[in-house]
């Protein structure tokens, strides 16, 4: 076994020990195929008011601009699936990924541990950790690293474990053994396209961000367009519809991360409790929660929209 294989196996074993479900490695370089697609998506205004998607165009496509001398992109999948039915008909819905502590904090802690392990075990390696917080095309790298294929809903699907995963990366100036992409297994299935109530999936693998329920309830700071009234039921933060209907998610398993468990304090909230929530209660209940991204006013905006639909 050569050093590249040895290092790769060490990293993958430690990633598994830290709780990552899957780890794949690809060669750092310019994402030529994705460049034209990203440019077209932006030119068509599919990013809506997410102007940050227009920034750092070159860096999104080339990891060597993020880490000097980058040679490898290591991609990770971290499970967050909670298969238990949480919300009843008299409750508002929150996307599964937001049930527990903010994944940026949880996964970043794991990546820091892994980076420390690499430097202690392999030697001084220059690199950076990314958890959905920098200009990097995470899904493209996960695909190149063999962690799954791009589903028609735009999510990475793993053949044995579905798509309820957080994506993250380490970009290193270290040569490693590279994995190969896997083939697409969506076939003729259109379950996600058919189920999307806002028709955000305008072509297979292409999602109009400006039409997605997650965009309206998390990213959009302005009022939700009135033509969307009556389109979706009870979602006040994010949306899981396109993943809930995906046949591959029958293989999804319950996560094993204690920090992703929902707080009992809000699990029993009925609609009235959400409608009457004060800012102080919101700040206390969701101190380290992804819901902080929408902020109190954003959450109230989403609730008011549903009340007036």
Check residue 48 and give its pLDDT. Answer: 81
Are the C-beta atoms of 154 and 201 separated by less than 8 Å? yes
CA 222-224-226 angle, 5° bins = 130
Q: Are residues 118 and 37 in the same domain?
A: yes
CA-to-CA dists, residue 179 to 72, 165, 272, 287, angstroms: 11, 19, 50, 39
| Last residue in a domain, options 172, 203, 232 | 172
Kindly state whether residue 178 falls inside one of the protein's structural domains: no
Check residue 49 and give its pLDDT. Answer: 83
Q: Are residues 134 and 230 in the same domain?
A: no
* pTM of the full structure: 0.95
- Token pair 């992409």: residue: 181
How many domains, the chain?
Answer: 2
pLDDT per residue of the chain (309 residues) written in tens, 0 to 9: 799 999 999 999 999 999 999 999 999 999 999 988 888 998 988 988 888 888 888 999 999 999 999 999 999 999 999 988 788 889 999 999 999 999 999 999 999 999 999 999 999 999 999 998 788 999 999 999 999 999 999 999 999 999 999 999 999 999 999 999 999 999 999 999 999 999 999 999 999 999 999 999 999 999 999 999 999 989 999 999 999 999 999 999 999 999 999 988 888 899 999 999 999 999 999 999 999 999 999 999 999 999 998
What CATH number does the domain containing 124 carry? 3.40.109
Q: Are residues 212 and 280 in the same domain?
A: yes
Catalytic center residues: 132
Residue-range definition of the domain harbouring residue 300:
191-249+266-307
Q: Are residues 153 and 238 in the same domain?
A: no
Q: Are residues 168 and 202 in the same domain?
A: no
Check residue 263 and give its pLDDT. Answer: 84
Q: Are residues 113 and 219 in the same domain?
A: no
Q: Which is nearest to 153 in space by CA: 204, 215, 87, 218?
A: 204
Q: Are residues 38 and 77 in the same domain?
A: yes
Q: Are residues 200 and 139 in the same domain?
A: no
Angle between helices 3-17 and 103-121 (to 10 degrees): 140
């Amino acid at each position: 076994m050569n050093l590249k294989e040895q290092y790769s196996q060490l990293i993958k074993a430690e990633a598994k020990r830290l709780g990552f479900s899957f780890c794949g490695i690809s060669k750092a370089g310019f994402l030529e195929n994705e460049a034209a697609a990203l440019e077209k998506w932006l030119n068509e205004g599919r990013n809506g008011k997410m102007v940050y998607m227009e920034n750092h165009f070159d860096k999104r496509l080339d990891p060597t601009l993020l880490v000097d001398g980058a040679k490898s992109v290591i991609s990770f999948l971290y499970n967050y699936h909670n298969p238990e039915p949480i919300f009843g008909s008299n409750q508002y819905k929150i996307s599964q990924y937001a049930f527990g502590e903010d994944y940026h904090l949880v996964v970043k802690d794991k990546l820091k541990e892994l980076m420390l392990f690499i430097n202690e075990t392999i030697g001084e390696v220059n690199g950076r950790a990314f958890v959905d917080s920098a200009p990097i095309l995470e899904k493209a790298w996960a695909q190149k690293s063999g962690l799954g294929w791009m589903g028609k809903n735009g999510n990475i699907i793993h053949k044995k474990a579905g798509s309820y995963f957080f994506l993250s990366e380490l970009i290193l100036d270290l040569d490693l053994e590279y994995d190969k992409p896997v083939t697409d297994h969506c076939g003729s299935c259109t379950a996600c396209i058919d189920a999307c109530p806002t028709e955000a999936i305008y072509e297979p693998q292409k999602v109009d961000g400006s039409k997605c329920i997650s965009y309206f309830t998390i990213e959009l700071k302005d009022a939700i367009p009135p033509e969307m009234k009556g389109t979706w039921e009870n979602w006040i933060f994010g949306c899981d519809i396109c993943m809930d209907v995906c046949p591959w998610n029958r293989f999804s398993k319950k996560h094993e991360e204690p920090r992703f468990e929902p707080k009992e304090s809000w699990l029993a909230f009925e609609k009235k409790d959400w409608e009457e929530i004060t800012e102080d209660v919101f700040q206390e209940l969701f101190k380290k929660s992804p819901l902080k991204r929408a902020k109190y006013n954003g959450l109230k905006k989403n609730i008011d929209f549903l009340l007036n639909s």
